[in-house]
Amino acid sequence: MSTATADSVSDQELVRRSDGRRIRPARILLHTFLITVAIAWLIPIGTAIYNSFRFYESDTQVNGPFSAPDTLTLQNYRDAWNVGEMGKTFGNTAFIVIPALFITLFLSAAVAFACTRFSWKFNIAFLVLFTAGNLMPQQVLFQPLFQIYKRVPWPDILSDTNTGNLLGTKIAVILIHIAFQVGFCTFVLANYMKTIPKELGEAAAVDGAGVLRQFFQVILPLTRPALAALATLEFTWLYNDFFWGAVLLNQGDERPITSSIAVLNGQYATDFNLIAAASIMIALPTLVVYLILQKQFISGLTLGANKG
Amino acid sequence: MTVTDHIDDTTPAVDPPARGRRRRRRRYTTLSKGDRFWLGVMVGVPAFLHLILVWVPALATTALSFTEWDNLAPLTDIRAVGFQNYWFIFTVFDTNLFPALFNNFILVFWLFFCSAIGMLLAYLLDKNLRGGRVYQSIYYFPVVLSLAVVGFIWKSTMFSRDRGLLNVIWPGEPIDFVGDGTKIFQFDIPFLDFPLGLSRNFAALLIAMAWRHIGYIMVMYLAGLKGVDPALREAASIDGCNEWQSFRNVVFPALKPINVVVAVITVIEALRAYDIIAALNEPRGTEVMGTLVTKSLLGEGGGRVGIGSAYGVVLLLLCLGFIIWYVYNHYRETEQ
C-alpha cells in the first residue's frame, strides 16, 4: 500500500525532472545542510571506532583524537573482552533474548488473532490493557515483582542461583520481557491483522478448519511480513535492555551484555579508548542487523504508528 | 468468556433472504467447544503473564506507597500510614524529588524540540533527493544502539576533559562533562529553600540523547509523509501557498495520527529516561525520576519501600495522563 504511493510519487518527480532539468541553488543549500548534519552524526561513533584501535594514555591523550596514530592495536578489544567477561555476558544475552523474542511474537500473534478475528465481550478492553501496560515506566514495577518472583518456586537444576525461587534467575528476566513486550507486539499485530479480509477466515471455517487451523495455516502465514519486521525491532529492544538485567540479576557476570558494561566503566573509568572498544563490540550485533535488515527495521517501527 | 461469532457483518453485496442468511451464519460461524477452549488459551496465557507481571505490580506499588515496610521483613509487617510518605517526599526529601522532577521536565521540552528537528529532517528528505536513503540511514543508525551504549560512546569521545570533543565547542575552560554538576543556570522557587537549575553534565547528556531521538522521530514522520496525498500539496501550491503555508495548513494537519504517536513517544521517553544516566553511574546533577525510584528501592535506602513507591507513583501519574490520552485517541478511531 505504502510502496504504491511511493512509486507514484517518484514517477511524478521523474516527469518533473525530465521536462525542466535545472539545478536550483536551494537544492545545493539543502544538500550542504544535510551533509553537515550527517557528518555531525558520524563524529561520535567515527571517533570512537578510530580511537578504539589506539592506546589512550600514550597516544590519544598526548596527540589528540584526530591525529595520525602512533600504533594501531587490538589490545583495547582484548582487554575489554577479558575484563568485561564479554564472552560470558554475550552468552547471557543470547540465553535471554532468543527465547524471549520467539515466545513474545508467538503469544502476541495469538492474542491479536483472538481479539481481531472474533468478537467477544472484552476484546477491545484486552487490547487497551496491553497497549497501556507497555507504556508504563518499568521502575514502578520491580519492587512488587521481586516479591512475586521470590514466592515462585523454581527447581535449582534449571537455574544458576540455587535459591529455590525465580528471583535472580535469567528466566525471571525472560518472563518480564515477554510480559512487557507482548503489549507492544499485540498492538502492532492487531493493527495488521485487522487489514486481512474477514472472508479468508470464514472460508476456512466453511471448509471445516477449527480455530487452531485458521490461526496456524491461514492468518499466521499472512502475518509474516509484520512478524519479520517486529522480530527485527524487538531483537534490538531486548538486546539493548539495560534496566531489567541490572536490577534482576545481581552479579555482574550473570548480566546481559549491556548491563555488564557498567562494571567495566567502574574499573576503567579513565581509559576512554578501552570503553570505546567495549561500546563498539556491544553495538556491533544491532548495527549489523540494522545494516542488513534496514527495511524490516523501519517498517516495524512505523507499523506501530500507522493505523491499519 | 463468551465467544459469539466472527465479525461478519461486512460485504452485503447480494443480500440473501433473511432466513437463509441466518441459517448460514449459525452453521458456519458458531464456535465448537474445542475452538472456544483454544481461543481461551490464546488470550488467557499472555493476558495472565501481562496482568501478573505488569499490572499487579503497578497496582501493588501504588498500594505500598501508602504503607511503611522494610522489604526484608515479612509481608505481615506492612503498616498503613496514609499519605505520610507523600508528605515526606514533598517536604523532608524535597532535595531529592524536585531536582529529579525538574530534570524530567527539561527533558520533555528538549525532546519535543528534538522531535521538531526530526520532523524537519523528514520533511527535507521527503523531497526525493539524490542520496536520500544514505542520509536517512546515517541519521537513523543511533536508534539501534542502547542508550547505555550511547552514554559510553559519548563518554569515550565527547565528554572527557582532556580530549573530549564537546570541549571544542564549550566556550570556557575545559571541563569533565560526566562529572561536572555545576549549574549552567538556576533560579529560586518560592516554596523551596534551594534553587533548581540545569547542570553542565545533564546538558551534555541532553545532546547525546538528541543524537538518538531525532533519527527515531524522523523515521516516524517519513512514514507519515509518504501517506499524505500528493494531490493535497499540489492543490495548495496551485492556490498560491508558499512552502511554509502549505506545510503549516495542509501537510501538518494531515499528519495528525503521527503527531499523536510522536507526542506520546516523546513524553514517555522523557519520563522513563534511565539507562544513559544509570550507565554513567548517576553523576550528581543528572538525577531523574527513573533513577530516583530505582535508587531509593534498591540502594542503601532500599528498606523504605513506602518512600520509594511514593516516588514511583509520582512518575506513574505523570505518564498515566499521556497513556490514557493516547489509548483513548487510538481506540476511539478504531471503534468508528
The pLDDT value recorded for residue B1 is 36
Q: Which CATH superfamily is domain A87-305 in?
A: MetI-like (1.10.3720.10)
Task: Read off the pLDDT of each residue in B53-75 and give the average, rounded to a whole number.
Answer: 89
Residue A3 has pLDDT above 50, yes or no: no
A276 to B316: CB separation less than 8 angstroms, yes or no: no
B103 and B53, same domain (yes or no): no
Any A CB within 8 A of B73 CB: no
B321 and B172, same domain (yes or no): yes
Residue B10 has pLDDT above 70, yes or no: no
| Residue B318 belongs to some domain of the structure | yes
B125 and B64, same domain (yes or no): no
- Specify the CATH number for the domain of residue B210: 1.10.3720.10
Any A CB within 8 A of B7 CB: yes
B163 to A64: CB separation less than 8 angstroms, yes or no: yes
Residue B75 has pLDDT above 90, yes or no: no
Look at residues B71, B140, B12 and name the one whose alpha carbon lies nearest to residue A146.
B71
B109 and B242, same domain (yes or no): yes
Q: What is the mean pLDDT of chain A?
A: 83
State the Cα–Cα distance between residues A154 and B325, nearest whole angstrom.
40
State the Cα–Cα distance between residues B87 and A123, nearest whole angstrom.
40
The pLDDT value recorded for residue B302 is 58
For residue A168, which residues of chain B lie inside 8 Å, CB to CB? none
Nearest CA in chain B to A108: B46
State the Cα–Cα distance between residues A140 and A284, nearest whole angstrom.
31
The pLDDT value recorded for residue B114 is 96
Overall number of domains in chain B: 2
Higher pLDDT, B15 or A239: A239
B37 and B95, same domain (yes or no): no
B261 and B175, same domain (yes or no): yes
Residue A1 has pLDDT above 80, yes or no: no
Any A CB within 8 A of B264 CB: yes
At residue B32, φ and ψ (nearest 5 deg) are: -75, 170
B79 and B110, same domain (yes or no): no
Any A CB within 8 A of B107 CB: no
Any A CB within 8 A of B9 CB: no
B316 to A147: CB separation less than 8 angstroms, yes or no: no
The pLDDT value recorded for residue A83 is 84
The pLDDT value recorded for residue A252 is 64
B76 and B97, same domain (yes or no): no
B162 and B239, same domain (yes or no): yes
Residue A19 has pLDDT above 60, yes or no: no
| Residue B24 belongs to some domain of the structure | no
Q: Could you report the predicted ipTM of this complex, rounded to two decimals? A: 0.83
Residues in CB range of B119: below 8 A, 6 or more apart? B217, B218, B221, B262
Please write the tens of the pLDDT for every residue from A191-229. Answer: 888 888 888 888 888 888 888 888 998 899 999 988 998
Give the residue from B21, B76, B149, B304 with the most A CB atoms within 10 Å of its CB, the best one to mutate: B149
In chain B the first and final C-alpha atoms are separated, in Å, by 24
Highest mean pLDDT among A143-147, B50-54, B181-185: B50-54
| Residue B12 belongs to some domain of the structure | no
Rg (CA), chain B: 26
User: Please, which pLDDT band fits residue A154 given cuts at 50, 70 and 90?
Assistant: confident
| Residue B298 belongs to some domain of the structure | yes
Domain range annotation of chain A = 87-305
B151 and B72, same domain (yes or no): no
Which B residues in the span 118-177 are in contact with A, Cβ-Cβ below 8 Å?
Answer: 121, 124-125, 127-129, 131, 134-135, 137-142, 144-149, 152-158, 160, 162-163, 165
Nearest CA in chain A to B162: A61
Could you list the residue range(s) of the whole structural domain that residue B74 is in? 33-83
> Between β-strands B183-187 and B196-199, what pairing exists: parallel, antiparallel or unpaired?
antiparallel
Please write the tens of the pLDDT for every residue from A263-282. Answer: 777 777 778 888 889 999 99
Higher pLDDT, A103 or A126: A103
Give the residue from A103, A140, A287 with the most B CB atoms within 10 Å of its CB, the best one to mutate: A140
User: Please, which pLDDT band fits residue B215 given cuts at 50, 70 and 90?
Assistant: very high
For residue B139, which residues of chain A lie inside 8 Å, CB to CB? 37-38, 41
The pLDDT value recorded for residue B299 is 65
